Amino acid sequence: MCRLVAYLGEPIFLDTLVCAPQHSLVHQSLQAEEAKTVTNGDGFGVGWYGNRAEPGVYREVMPAWSDDNLLSLCASVQSRLFFAHVRAATGGGIARQNCHPFRHGRWMFMHNGQIGGYAKLRRHLEARLPDELYAARRGATDSELLFLLALARIEAGESPPEAMHAVLDETLALMRQQAITQPLRFAAALSDGDEVFAFRFSSDPKPPTLYVGQCEQGCIVASEPLDTRDDHWRLVPANSWVQLNRQGAVMHA
């Protein structure tokens, strides 16, 4: 299982959350506390919104804890909205194009979890992509595929939460048709550069962890609390989603 952090608020340097905290994302890449896999060393990525509509992205296959370029970048880049992700591969292989976050136009997405029995479902799910989004697929992960399937619905007029929930419902229905008993587990963040939509879902009683936090400058979504201040963090209930905007964080069942 992977670990992730998303931030929305006043511009801050990326290292404020990615590197500096007691239990930063870089620390979690080596020693996660609330994940099935303690080490998340199969690549990492950061994505941030700046002065252009499309986000910048830096992804690499080496472990986050061993990349000096990541530390230098995070100490130099300032952003009002950014994503960061460390990966423990469950499928798709270790390659730069399989590292999160994924980007398409102004949209950015990252994911922790897996589609049970994905190898049996991949062809069926990919067939549902419009030609343009199918051609935009670069990697082999279930995460990128879920992202593009949701984008297809968003481009057709659905809201991001409606689109994501519909994709999960369709995926579960297909899993049932194929008699797949492995779970669908999904903790993810999606952004258009203005808002962040974060989701926590599972078809079994073990959804990936996801927390909402607050700092002086803005709101945070993270797989694990970045510090030991209990008053900073709220666990997102299972099968719920969170909307971050300039007014703060709102939970939705």
Which residues are marked as active site? Answer: 2
Q: Angle CA(82)–CA(86)–CA(90) in degrees, nearest 5?
A: 130
Q: Angle CA(38)–CA(44)–CA(46) in degrees, nearest 5?
A: 130
Q: Angle CA(211)–CA(226)–CA(31) in degrees, nearest 5?
A: 105
CB atoms within 10 A of CB 56: 16
Separation CA 237–CA 203 (nearest Å): 14
Q: What's the DSSP call for residue 232?
A: G
Q: How many residues does the chain have?
A: 253
Helices 142-155 and 118-126 cross at an angle (nearest 10°) of: 30
Token pair, residue 186, equals: 């999904």
